[in-house]
């Protein structure tokens, strides 16, 4: 279906390209801003329709604005995704070949780990097996800082996890590369990494559910049971959304304001 795109659609798309990822609240504010700037009527509950119109025009270019959930706080996010590339080539303009090799190694560590994290020590050690130009310790540390700044990785006390942006944008790649290791959430069917999810303790079941999805699914149920095997769900049901307060990356809002201004 081909729909006409107005200036407001174009402005929305340009801003999203500049910031990479935006949460739902910011997307709503941006939608309002774009409509106001170009004197278009803005219907607050029509954001998804507005994005669908943009997506119908992006489709021939194998691009798409995709919605995904943060495993951290359960909030919805929007990211511009290149559907044609199932590799991490989309990052090649920003990173050198050996940096991309180390990013791939970091992905390997995170996906194959029990808890969805990789320690800085393990990442530093993995430079020993690099086939491209080996990164020095200081270069590796600098690269990790950049990957966090560019919102591909998150860091907490020396432990690295995949960011929401990375999970939304790299989902086709991760699913293809790590078919046997990747588990999906039984509720929302997106990739689920530990420790941001709960697992059914029935050994013949073992489904995973994201913490925010657990909170939503079991809300108000007196005796929680596994949606797959009907066994008792023994985990504590997180209190949503209070338990998942968002920790925003610094300067994110400033950057968004800067790009939406004018
Ligand atoms: Zn889920
Ligand atoms: Zn179960």
Q: How far is the CA of 207 from the centre of ligand 1 (A)?
A: 11
Q: What is the pLDDT of residue 250?
A: 39
Report the SS3 class of residue 103. helix
Compute, in angstroms, the gap from residue 72 CA to the centroid of ligand 1.
11
Contacts 24+ apart (CB under 8 A), 151-154: 151/20, 151/21, 151/249, 152/91, 152/103, 153/106, 154/72
* Ligand with an atom nearest the CA of residue 227: 2
pLDDT digits (tens, 9 = 90+) for 131-143: 999 999 999 999 9
Task: Quote the pLDDT of residue 70.
Answer: 86
Q: Is-contact 144 158, C-beta < 8 A?
A: no
Per-residue burial over 139-172, b if 16 or more Cβ lie within 10 Å, else e, is bbeebbeebeebbbbbeeeebbbbbbbbbbbbbe
**Residue 112: alpha-carbon gap to chain centroid:** 18
Q: How far is the CA of 203 from the centre of ligand 2 (A)?
A: 8
Using the mean position of ligand 2's atoms as its centre, give its distance from the Cα of residue 233 in Å.
8
Q: What percent of the chain has pLDDT over 90?
A: 52
Of all residues in the chain, the percent with pLDDT exceeding 70 is: 86
How far is the C-alpha of 6 from the C-alpha of 216, rounded, in Å? Answer: 37
Q: Which ligand is nearest to the CA of 200?
A: 2
Task: Encode pLDDT of 27-37 as tens digits.
Answer: 999 999 999 99
Domains of the chain: 7-84 (3.90.1150.220), 89-177 (1.10.10.10), 197-243 (3.30.40.10)
CA contacts within 13 A on the Cβ side of 21:
24
* pLDDT tens figures, 200-257: 999 999 999 998 899 989 988 888 999 999 999 999 988 765 444 433 343 444 444 4
């Amino acid at each position: 279906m081909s729909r006409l795109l107005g200036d407001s659609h174009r402005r929305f798309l340009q801003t999203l390209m500049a910031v990479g990822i935006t949460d739902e609240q910011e997307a709503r504010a941006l939608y309002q801003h774009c409509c106001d700037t170009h004197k278009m009527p803005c219907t607050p509950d029509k954001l998804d329709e507005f994005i669908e119109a943009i997506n119908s025009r992006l489709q021939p270019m194998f691009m798409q604005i995709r919605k995904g959930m943060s495993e951290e706080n359960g909030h919805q996010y929007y990211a511009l995704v290149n559907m044609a590339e199932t590799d991490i080539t989309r990052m090649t303009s920003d990173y050198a070949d050996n940096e991309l090799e180390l990013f791939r190694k970091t992905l390997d560590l995170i996906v194959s780990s029990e808890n969805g994290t990789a320690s800085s020590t393990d990442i530093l050690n993995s430079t020993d097996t690099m086939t491209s130009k080996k990164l020095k310790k200081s270069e590796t540390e600098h690269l990790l800082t950049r990957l966090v700044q560019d919102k591909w990785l998150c860091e907490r006390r020396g432990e690295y996890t995949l960011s929401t942006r990375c999970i939304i944008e790299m989902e086709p790649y991760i699913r293809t590369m790590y078919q046997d290791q990747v588990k999906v959430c039984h509720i929302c069917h997106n990739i689920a990494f530990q420790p941001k999810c709960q697992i059914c303790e029935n050994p013949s079941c073992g489904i995973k559910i994201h913490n925010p999805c657990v909170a939503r699914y079991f809300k108000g149920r007196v005796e929680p049971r596994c949606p797959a095997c009907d066994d008792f769900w023994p985990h504590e049901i997180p209190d949503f959304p209070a338990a998942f307060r968002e920790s925003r990356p610094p300067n994110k809002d400033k950057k968004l304001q800067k790009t939406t201004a004018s």
